Structure 1
Amino acid sequence: MAPMAGVSDAAYRLMARAGGAPLAYSEMVSVTGIHYASEKTWELVDPDPAEPDLAVQLFGSDVDHFREAARAARERLGARLALVDVNMACPVPKVTRNGAGSALLDDPARAAAIVGALVEELDVPVTVKIRIGRTPQKIVGPAFARAMEEAGAAAVAVHGRFASQMYRGSSDAGQIRRVAEAVGVPVIASGDALDAPRAAALLRETGAAACFVARGSYGNPWVFRDAAAALAGEVPAPRPAALRLAAFRLHVRLLVATGAHIARARSLAGWYLRGVPDAAAWRERAMHCVGVDDYLALADEVEATL
């Protein structure tokens, strides 16, 4: 399950695990926030007691802040820290203007120094997530990935878009394959794995060792198990609306159980209610829900119309 800002909280990760995800990532965590001991930042790092482990994704540009964050995360999570990933892919201006995210694609020396510092501090794998370049005029994927491998990265995740594309257009599986052929470490393919068949196809097309699923998991926590089935040549059975409503109820309850803000259920409602009759009207109703009981009652109302 891919790291997703504003989405991949503990409740979301628990749902993904239940749906077959073998690994789940935190939201993007600021090393500067950790440096200033922001408790709100630490909320993004701390796994729920029900989670077996957690891959923590960090972002920033200050090497010393990365060192400090690595030590603090290792101490705080202990054996439940699965790996530390460095975000070198985020295209959002408020991230890149500070030299972080995809801006690091233009500064391979700093990126390598960050990876090297983390490798020195940690006894768990250090990985990176990159894009194929910042603009179509400057494809850097293979060379940049080799530099990260030489710096000590244990794996490279590659989003097959340029940073300038943001999330528009299509992800280029051919460019991901070029990276996979250029390095000796495992490559994780990322981009446009919007359902189980496409996730399986992305693995076949790129030769990658693994695949990130992000938006494809919206309202579909089963996508991970279904993708594994698709790789085995099986055709996953469709999930009936009643089952998706049951998953929505569980997800809402997990928001409460993990201490997340219930407002996140508004997005969940939009995703889980896709495809039900009069979905647009139900989604509008969900925008006016306030508490957990409101969302559960809405799910009951929807199910009564099926």
Structure 2
Amino acid sequence: MDTIKIGTVELSGRAVLAPMAGAGDRAFREICASFGAAMTTSEMVSAKALQFNDKKTPELMELGADARPGAIQLFGSEPDVMAEGAKRAMDFAPDAIDLNMGCPAPKITGPGAGSALMKDPALCGEIVAAVKAAVPVPVTVKMRAGWDEKSRNAVEVAKICQQAGAAAVTVHARTRSQMYAPNPDWGVIKAVKEAVSVPVLGNGDVTGAQSAALMLERTGCDGVMVGRGALGNPWVFREINAYLTESCRILPPPGVSEKMLVLLRQAELMCRYKDERRAMNEARKHVGWYLKGLRGAAEFRRRGSLLSTMAELEALTKDVIAENEKE
């Protein structure tokens, strides 16, 4: 299988899991890794919250052995605060530190972090340099095409970040103003790949094996980062790996029983890492994603939105299987 080398970290495969706030917790990352995700990244962590010893933040940085290589993603806008946050993140032994320069959420961009950093390319470089000097692991950057149509500056920012010491860059092929709605412009990924020598990962509407292969072919990027396409569908990594390494082999989609079994496994892990009540509350959205396209999904989603115990989820999955496997 093809490998990607990010500093001292070698990835066995070309498809990695994107960091996703509110969805990419430890349990989900471990499930995706079990299906072949070559690397996983934590939900984004506030460097400032680390500075103030926020009690909820450490849980976001827990990296189990079953989801390695694993990176911790930090967000913030001050080089010294980001560097100090990276030092504290090292307590969790990440394989890399990823810097968020792509999040479009107003609560992140408002204070100048996330994709707002792309409005100040020099500051992007200062943050990379500060974090690189603070930690012994590779530092990577996730960015967007730019802030808006008038400032599509991913190439400039990527070159500055590489010069400051970034070991890899990921490019989401939309501007911040586009959020997630219009079709991504993969041309920006190609332009970044041609401009830098470090590995470049492409991100934006990779939902399966063929879209992954198409992005790799059209942009020349080293690997693909899968985000929303993996929600309720961790098999996407197995499918991409088979397609890329086995002469375009298309694997059959998982059956309903396998889907429900993996959903239960993910929920069990969530309960292990969090208390059952909170885990099941957070699992409700995942249930909706796993149910996509199944018979009776609307009613099952309604039931899923009320879940509070594993026993209720077990009963739900049995009913889903019965409804979808009957003649």
Which residue among 111, 121, 130 is the counterpart of 2:124? 111
Residues 34 and 66, structure 2, Cα contact 8 Å, conserved in 1: no
% identical aligned pairs = 39
For residue 243 of structure 2, what is the amino acid of its counterpart? A
Q: Matched residue of 1:235: which SS?
A: coil
Which residue in the other structure is 1:165 paired with?
178
Change (3 A) 1:186 1:39: same
Matched, 1:147 2:160: yes
Aligned equivalents of 2:214, 2:281: Cα separation in 1 = 35
Partner of residue 302, structure 1: 320
Structure 1 unaligned residues grouped into runs of 5+: none
- Pick the aligned partner of 1:240 from 255, 258, 268: 255
State the partner residue of 1:24. 40
Residue 251 of structure 1: aligned partner? 266
Check conservation: 2:42, 2:61, Cα contact below 8 A.
yes
User: Which residue of structure 2 lines up, in the alignment, with residue 60 of structure 1?
Assistant: 76
> Residue type of the partner of 1:241?
V
Deviation at 1:50, TM superposition (A): 4.3
1:188 aligns with 2:188: no
- C-alpha separation between the residues in 2 aligned to 1:52 and 1:214? 17
Q: Which string of whole-angstrom CA distances, capped at 9 and with x for unpartnered residues, describes residues 118-139 of structure 1?
A: 1111111101111111111221
Distance in 1 of aligned mates of 2:176 and 2:28 = 26
What is the CA deviation profile of residues 90-146 of structure 1, one whole-angstrom value per residue up to 9, with x for unaligned ones? Answer: 111111111100111011111111100111111111011111111112210111111
8 Å contact 1:200–1:228 — kept in the other structure? Answer: no
Residues 156 and 188 in structure 1, CA contact (< 8 A), matched pair in contact too:
yes
The aligned runs of 1:199-214 (5 Å cut-off) are: 199-214=212-227
How far apart are 1:49 and its partner, in Å?
5.4
Deviation, 1:33, is 0.5
1:276 partner letter: L
What amino acid does structure 2 have at the position aligned with 1:243?
A: E
Residues 243-252 or 46-55, more deviating? 46-55
Per-residue CA deviation, residues 192-213 of structure 1 (Å, 9 max, x unaligned), is 0122221222112111111100
Corresponding residue SS for 1:137: helix
Q: Which residue type is aligned with residue 83 of structure 1?
A: A
Runs of at least 5 residues in structure 2 that lack an aligned partner in the other structure: 1-16
For 1:52 and 1:128, locate their aligned partners in 2 and report how far apart those are by CA, in whole Å.
18
Q: Which amino acid aligns with 2:232?
A: G
1:14 to 16, 30, 39: 30
Q: Which of these residues, 117, 123, 145, is aligned with residue 136 of structure 2? A: 123
Measured after TM superposition, the shift of residue 171 of structure 1 is 1.1
Which letter does structure 1 place at the counterpart of 2:293?
G
Give the 3-state SS of the residue equivalent to 1:64 in structure 2.
Answer: helix
Match of 1:178 in 2: 191
**In 2, Cα distance between equivalents of 1:264 and 1:160:** 29
SS in 1 for 2:183: coil
Matches within 5 A, 1:30-109: 30-48=46-64, 50-74=66-90, 76-78=91-93, 81-109=94-122
2-structure distance, mates of 1:125, 1:296:
41
Shift of 1:51: 4.0
Q: Residue 6 of structure 1: SS of its match in structure 2? A: coil
CA offsets 1:41-72 (integer angstroms, 9 cap, x no match): 11111223544442011000111111111111
Counterpart contact for 1:5–1:28, Cα < 8 Å: yes
209-218 vs 229-238, greater mean Cα deviation: 229-238
SS of residue in 1 equivalent to 2:123? helix
Tell me, what secondary structure is at the counterpart of 1:57? strand
* TM superposition shift of 1:162: 0.6
* 2:235 counterpart residue number: 222
Q: Which residue identity does 2:22 align to in structure 1? A: G
The equivalent of 2:3 in structure 1 is none
Structure 1 position 261, deviation (Å): 2.4
Residue identity opposite 1:122 in structure 2: V
Partner of 1:278: 296
Q: Is the Cα–Cα contact under 8 Å of residues 124 and 157 in structure 2 kept in the other structure?
A: no
The 2-side partners of 1:66 and 1:181 are apart by 29
Is 1:287 the counterpart of 2:305? The answer is: yes
For the residues of structure 2 that align with 1:86 and 1:50, how far apart are their CA atoms? Answer: 23
Asked if 2 retains the 8 angstrom alpha-carbon contact of 1:180 and 1:208, the reply is yes
Selected match of 1:268 from 254, 270, 286 = 286
Give the TM-score taking structure 1 as reference length: 0.96
Distance 2:219 2:145 in 1: 13
Cα-to-partner distance string for 1:59-87 (whole Å, 9 max, x where unaligned): 0011111111111111x123xx1100100
SS of residue paired to 1:212: strand
